Structure 1
Amino acid sequence: MFRGITALNLDAKGRMAIPSRYRERLQTDAQGQLILTLDHRGQCLLLYPLPVWEAIERELIGAPNLLEVVDQLKHTLIGHATECEPDGQGRILLPTMLRELVGIDRQVTLVGLGNKFELWDEQAWDQRRKGWLRAAQDGAVNLPEQLSRLAF
C-alpha cells in the first residue's frame, strides 16, 4: 500500500526522486516498471506500478466505446500513458508535456493512494486540500452509505 503525502522537487531535467520508503516495494511488485499518465480530470498525474496499470488498461480496452465517457477515459488515460523506470538513483523523468498539462513546475506533492500515486503541483494540491477540508467542516460532504459505516 502506498500512503502518505510527500513534498518533492524536480531537478533541472524534470526528474523526480521516488521516496526511498517506496522503492523496494516498487521493485518487488513491479520490477521498477511504472506507468505515468494524466488523471481523467486533468488535475494531476497518476503513477501506477505496471501490474496495477495493466489491469486498468485491460478493463478500459475491453469497455465498449458506445459511451462517450469511456472513449474519453481511453484517450486520456491510455493516450497519455508513458512508461517510466527509475534510474540508478531512484529518479523518474516526468515528460514536459504531462507536466505542462497539470501545471507542475518544480515543486511536486506526491500522494500515496493505496495502489497508485497522484502527482500534483504543490500549489494546486494545497488549494484542493483546503477546499476539501472546508467542505468537510461546513458539513457539505455526504458519504455514500457503504462509507458512512467506517469509523474515522
Structure 2
Amino acid sequence: MSNFLGSHAINMDAKGRIAIPARVREDLASLCEGRIVLTAHTEERCLLVYPEPKWREILPKIEALPSFNKAARRAQRLLIGHATPLELDSAGRVLVPPTLREYAGLEKKLLLIGQGSKLELWSEDRWTAWLDDAEGDGEMPPEMESLSL
C-alpha cells in the first residue's frame, strides 16, 4: 500500500471542489485508479481520505465493532454514515459533499495531510489550532516510549 507523506496546502472552490496535488494524484491513480472514500474522522473535526481498496479492507473491521458499546457505535455512525465514494475527475478534482464540508468546517484554505495509508483533509484554521493545542495530547502510549526518532 502506498505511503502518503507530507502536507499540501490546497484550495476549495465555491462549488466545494478540491484539486488533489499531482504527487498524491499519481499515487491514487496507480493505487486505486483515482477512486477514494471520504469520511468523517472520529476524534477530530477533519475528514479521512482512503484509497478505495484500503477502505474495503477496514470496513468489515468497523462493522464488526460491538453495537452495544456507545463509543464503538459512535465510530460506526461517523465512519460508515459519512462514507462517500468519490472518483477523481480528469483534472484530479473531487467534489466534497456539503455534509462533510460542514462537519470539518471546510472553507477555502485547506491542508491535505499524509498519514501513511490514508490522508486527512483539514481546514487551515482548524489545523493551525490543533498544532497550537499541546494540552490535549494526553499520555504517551507504551508503544511510543521505545520509539527513537
TM-score, with length taken from structure 1: 0.89
Preserved CA contact (<8 Å) 1:63 1:70: yes
CA distance in 1, matches of 2:140, 2:64: 30
CA distance in 1, matches of 2:138, 2:99: 34
What is the percentage of aligned positions where both structures have the same residue?
Answer: 38
Task: Note the residue ranges of structure 2 that are not aligned, 5 or more in a row.
Answer: none
Pairwise CA distance, 1:62: 2.2
Pairwise CA distance, 1:68: 1.6
Q: Give the ranges of 4+ consecutive aligned residues of structure 1 lying more than 4 Å apart after TM superposition.
A: none
RMSD over aligned CA atoms reads 1.7
Partner of residue 26 from structure 2, selected from 21, 24, 27: 24
Q: Using the TM superposition, name which of 55-64 and 99-108 deviates more.
A: 55-64
Report the structure number with the largest CA radius of gyration. Answer: 1
Preserved CA contact (<8 Å) 1:42 1:101: no
After superposition, residues 92-103 of structure 1 pair within 5 angstroms as 92-103=94-105
Matching residue's letter, 1:68: K
Residues 1:41 and 1:146: Cα distance change in structure 2 (over 3 Å):
closer
Task: Note the residue ranges of structure 1 that are not aligned, 5 or more in a row.
Answer: none
Instruction: Report Cα offsets for 1:78-117 as digits up to 9, x if no partner.
Output: 0000011000000011111110112111111111000111
Matching residue's letter, 2:84: T
Preserved CA contact (<8 Å) 1:46 1:119: yes
CA distance in 2, matches of 1:149, 1:69: 29
Q: Indicate the residue corresponding to 2:148 in structure 1.
A: 151
TM-score, with length taken from structure 2: 0.91
